[in-house]
């Protein structure tokens, strides 16, 4: 039952991009300044919604990575680690306020470079980015109450993904700096622009040179950074495959490591669930940020007695999703971040069909240019299907059914991953018992994809180790 | 009510649902719950929709055509009602393209005045009845109130439910009362006011919505306007979900009327977005969605003029009554 309205047709409501000033080319941010790369090649970053080139960005080579680590080391030993916590806090509060002041600009830039709807970068990403800086600024002078000591680890090498570019930067940089560490951060190849804007904010905040260094580039730059001899701590968010490679390279060294990797979360809907809100939770669980979310609810486990009803309602709701220009304020589903990712989503969806699952997408026109994939749901999926086991990292939901709570637990836990899970039921005792038995770092009850700086986040099994956020997020940066 | 095997399995209605308070209670408490946080988040998210240019023009005119232009004050006079009727027929006397409102909503004793003004113009006369707003009177008194309004020419009756009976679990009593009021209405359309501000939970809003629909309501209405909070977006959302699911189960379409607290064009447009994205085109007309309001019309007129001319008029360019 498509419900696309013929009567009330929303006119385009694009957010202006005039607020953003993108330079033609960017250097690396090392020692408090933008510098030209010495041995790296330039590369281009594009707007995934239009394939338009946004800017030319430098790829850091080995000498550049050396320079950045050296700048971080110097700042660590000469200024930052010895600075009283209350002084460090002032810088972090200042950064947080600057992020709020420039929130609109940063939101537009994030949507341009990443493809996510402005509604999400404006209402989710940016408020959270500021909140993480405010939260960890508050910890900087209270570390002795953290339970993890007060001594910083040293230079942190941080490598972040393209799905929440600025938010992942905040998760990494805010706790590291609060604890007195200095950082070299590598943003993802396809989404470097907000990290570079953040570098400007560090300058605006007069953060001492070298405390934050940003080296752009692809996988090679990341590898050189994490394998560098003079880094003390590695924090990585990204694919399980790369995470494993990093874990191997770190083995036998004294480097400390936290990994936040993939997921294949079960979103479990019981027959007594608040059904309209559960539908919203299923939708935000898998279609939020085009499904480019490591903790996405990509497996819907629905109790057999309500499966037909839930699916019917889900399809109806999916036909109201608005896909298109990420800068339009009414867009619900933006662009897939890259051609490579789009190809991967297409392949896995084709495999789902070949394996016999039934594919359904709402009628929705895709723009001619750019990278797009319609919100898709697969029914008739079993545990053995690849689309039930592998992370698709796109707007593709696999639906399985269960009859009893035990069966739900068995299926939910039967995955190499363990990042998140969701439980939908009106019964409080069932929420608690499910949460105890689900092997996942985060269990949401009657909600999904909610984040808060005070709450620790991280995985079980192949979803990684270590926690980010909350008091627990300090542990990786203190000794 | 026939047993249906429609999609909404959780809301299949047994044929003898109103045979006892127990079976009515069993059905109403078997409806899916409403998660407060989730419902409010959904309403808040829809409230961020940005409605511009042509869409805004359409929304303003549609909102005007959905208004139940209301005056429910002890100090109401025949003169005020006549003035309101004139405004209902020509909301913007300088612009004949401006649509009429859907209805005038008055106390029963003023129905005769309103009907004399509006006649067969197409603008309906709605009357609150059943001892509005508290509903605290004996049933024969409430029924007499309804019959008098209908006899004087009311096209629509806005009744209030007995919230005391509802909250104490006497669902059958509430049901029977609605059934009797509906019978007393004759051909007049019945809007059932739930007074959601007194029902306290969204679960109760959903149950009261179904109860009213089962008993024969043509419309379900949020509030009297005399209790705060009145028509909040999440309440209207829950009621829209109820009419959608009721039609899935029974095939019968019921209208929704938020009333009270909707004062600005922005409020009205947010309500239309809610309708659009919850129940769609089928409810986007004055036959199925009304907005009970008094001051809203003036703001819509000012915004409408701004869309046409590019500048705002002062408050004295619209009439106070």
pLDDT at A237: 97
Set of chain A residues whose Cβ sits within 8 Å of the Cβ of B35: 274, 277, 446
What residue numbers bound the domain in which B39 lies? 31-309
Q: What is the CATH number of the domain that holds A335?
A: 3.40.309.10
Q: Determine the distance in angstroms separating the CA of A280 from the nearest CA of chain B, rounded to an integer.
A: 7
Q: What is the pTM of this model?
A: 0.96
Q: Is residue A63 located within the same domain as residue A85?
A: yes
**Residues A261, A420: Cα–Cα separation, whole Å:** 11
Termini Cα distance of chain A: 58
**Residues B40, B235: Cα–Cα separation, whole Å:** 9
Question: DSSP string spanning B95-114?
Answer: -TTSPPPSEEEE-GGGHHHH
Q: How many domains does chain B have?
A: 1
Cβ contact B51–A13 (<8 Å) = yes
Q: What is the CATH number of the domain that holds B281?
A: 3.20.20.70
Q: What is the CATH number of the domain that holds A99?
A: 3.40.605.10
Set of chain A residues whose Cβ sits within 8 Å of the Cβ of B287: none
Say whether pLDDT at B260 is over 70: yes
Cβ contact B10–A426 (<8 Å) = no
Q: Is residue A144 part of a domain?
A: yes
Contact by Cβ (8 Å): A215, A71: no
* B positions 276-295 inside 8 Å of A (CB): 276-277, 280-281, 284
Strands B124-128 and B156-160, bridge-based pairing: parallel
CB pairs under 8 A between A and B: 91
Question: DSSP string spanning A409-439?
Answer: HHHHH-SS--SEEEEE-S-HHHHHHHHHH--
Cβ contact A274–B38 (<8 Å) = yes
Digit-coded pLDDT (tens) for A222-275:
999 999 999 999 999 999 999 999 999 999 999 999 999 999 999 999 999 999
User: Whole-number mean pLDDT of chain A?
Assistant: 97
Q: Is residue A354 located within the same domain as residue A404?
A: yes
| Per-residue CA distances from B313 to B93, B163, B183, B264, B320 (Å) | 15, 43, 47, 15, 14
Q: Is residue A213 part of a domain?
A: yes
B235 — contact with chain A (CB < 8 Å)? no
When pLDDT is cut at 50, 70 and 90, the band that residue B4 belongs to is very low
**Residues A171, A180: Cα–Cα separation, whole Å:** 15
Q: Is residue A118 located within the same domain as residue A250?
A: yes
What is the greatest pairwise CA distance in chain A?
66
The ipTM estimated for the assembled molecules is 0.95
Q: Hey, which residues does A266 pair with through a beta bridge?
A: A299, A421
Digit-coded pLDDT (tens) for A191-210:
999 999 999 999 999 999 99
Q: Is residue A93 located within the same domain as residue A109?
A: yes
Q: How many domains does chain A have?
A: 2
Q: Is residue A222 located within the same domain as residue A309?
A: no
Q: Is residue B25 part of a domain?
A: no
**Residues B161, B157: Cα–Cα separation, whole Å:** 13
Digit-coded pLDDT (tens) for B6-45:
444 556 899 899 999 999 999 999 999 999 999 999 999 9
What residue numbers bound the domain in which A158 lies? 25-261+461-477
Mean pLDDT over A292-297 rounds to 97
Q: Determine the distance in angstroms separating the CA of B9 from the nearest CA of chain A, rounded to an integer.
A: 7
pLDDT at B320: 82
Q: Is residue A166 located within the same domain as residue A304?
A: no
Q: Over the Cα atoms of chain B, what is R_g?
A: 19
Contact by Cβ (8 Å): A5, A322: no
């Amino acid at each position: 039952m498509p419900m696309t309205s013929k009567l009330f047709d929303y006119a385009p409501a694009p957010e202006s991009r005039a607020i953003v000033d993108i330079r033609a080319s960017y250097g690396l941010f090392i020692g408090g300044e933008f510098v030209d790369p010495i041995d790296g090649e330039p590369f281009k970053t594009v707007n995934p919604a239009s394939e338009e080139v946004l800017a030319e960005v430098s790829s850091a080579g080995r000498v550049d990575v050396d320079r950045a680590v050296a700048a971080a080391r110097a700042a660590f030993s000469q200024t930052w680690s010895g600075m009283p916590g209350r002084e460090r806090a002032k810088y972090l509060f200042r950064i947080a306020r600057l992020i709020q002041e420039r929130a609109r600009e940063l939101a537009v830039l994030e949507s341009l470079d990443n493809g996510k709807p402005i509604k999400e970068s404006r209402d989710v990403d940016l408020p959270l980015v500021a909140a993480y800086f405010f939260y960890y600024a508050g910890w900087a002078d209270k570390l002795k109450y953290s339970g993890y000591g007060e001594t910083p680890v040293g230079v942190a090498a941080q490598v972040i993904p393209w799905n929440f570019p600025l938010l992942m930067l905040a998760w990494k940089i805010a706790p590291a700096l609060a604890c007195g560490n200095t950082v070299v951060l590598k943003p993802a190849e396809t989404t470097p622009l907000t990290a570079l804007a953040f570098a400007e904010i560090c300058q605006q905040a007069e953060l001492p040179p070298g405390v934050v260094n940003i080296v752009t580039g692809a996988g090679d730059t990341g590898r050189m950074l994490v394998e560098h001899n003079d880094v003390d701590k590695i924090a990585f968010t990204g694919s399980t495959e790369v995470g494993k490679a990093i874990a191997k390279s770190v083995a036998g060294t004294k480097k400390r490591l936290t990994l936040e990797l993939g997921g294949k979360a079960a979103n479990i809907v019981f027959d007594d669930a608040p059904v309209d809100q559960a539908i919203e939770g299923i939708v935000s669980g898998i279609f939020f940020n085009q499904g480019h979310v490591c903790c996405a609810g990509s497996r819907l486990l629905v109790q057999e007695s309500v499966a037909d009803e839930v699916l019917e309602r889900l399809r109806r709701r999916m036909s109201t999703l608005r896909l298109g220009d990420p800068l339009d304020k009414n867009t619900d589903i933006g662009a897939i971040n890259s051609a490579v990712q789009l190809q991967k989503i297409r392949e896995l969806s084709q495999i789902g069909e070949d394996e016999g699952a039934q594919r359904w997408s709402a009628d929705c026109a895709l723009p001619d240019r750019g990278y797009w994939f319609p919100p898709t749901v697969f029914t008739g999926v079993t545990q053995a299907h690849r689309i039930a086991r592998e992370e698709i990292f796109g707007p593709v939901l696999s639906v399985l059914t269960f009859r009893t709570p035990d069966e739900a637990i068995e299926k939910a836990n039967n995955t190499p991953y363990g990042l998140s899970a969701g439980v939908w039921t009106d019964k409080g005792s069932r929420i608690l018992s499910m949460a105890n038995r689900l092997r996942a770092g985060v269990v949401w009850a009657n909600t999904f994809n909610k984040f808060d700086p005070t709450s620790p986040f991280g995985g079980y099994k192949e979803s990684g180790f270590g926690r980010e956020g909350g008091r627990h997020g300090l542990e990786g940066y203190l000794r | 009510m026939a047993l249906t095997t429609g999609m909404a399995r959780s809301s299949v209605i047994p044929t003898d649902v109103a045979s006892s308070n127990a079976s009515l209670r069993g059905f109403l408490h078997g409806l899916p719950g409403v998660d407060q946080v989730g419902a409010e988040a959904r309403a808040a998210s829809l409230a961020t929709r940005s409605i511009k240019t042509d869409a805004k023009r359409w929304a303003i005119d549609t909102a005007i055509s959905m208004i139940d232009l209301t005056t429910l004050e002890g100090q109401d006079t025949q003169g005020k009602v006549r003035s309101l009727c004139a405004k209902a027929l020509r909301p913007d006397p300088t612009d004949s393209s401006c649509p009429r409102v859907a209805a005038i909503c008055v106390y029963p004793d003023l129905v005769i005045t309103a009907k004399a003004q509006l006649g067969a113009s197409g603008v309906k006369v709605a009357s609150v009845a059943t001892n509005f707003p508290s509903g605290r009177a004996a049933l024969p008194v409430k029924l007499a109130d309804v019959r008098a309004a209908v006899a004087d020419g009311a096209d629509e009756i806005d009744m209030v439910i007995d919230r005391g009976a509802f909250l104490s679990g006497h669902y059958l009593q509430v049901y029977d009362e609605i059934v009797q009021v509906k019978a007393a209405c004759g051909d007049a359309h019945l809007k059932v006011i739930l007074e959601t501000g007194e029902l306290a939970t969204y679960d109760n809003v959903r149950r009261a919505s179904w109860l009213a629909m089962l008993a024969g309501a043509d419309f379900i209405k949020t509030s009297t306007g005399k209790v705060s909070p009145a028509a909040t977006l999440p309440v209207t959302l829950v009621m829209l979900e109820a009419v959608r699911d009721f039609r899935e189960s029974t095939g019968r379409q019921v209208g929704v009327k938020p009333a009270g607290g909707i004062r600005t064009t922005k409020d009205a447009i947010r309500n239309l977005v809610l309708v659009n994205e919850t129940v769609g085109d089928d409810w986007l007309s004055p036959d199925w969605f009304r907005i009970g309001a008094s001051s809203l019309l003036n703001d819509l007129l000012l915004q409408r003029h701004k869309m046409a001319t590019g500048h705002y008029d002062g408050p004295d360019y619209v009439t106070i009554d």
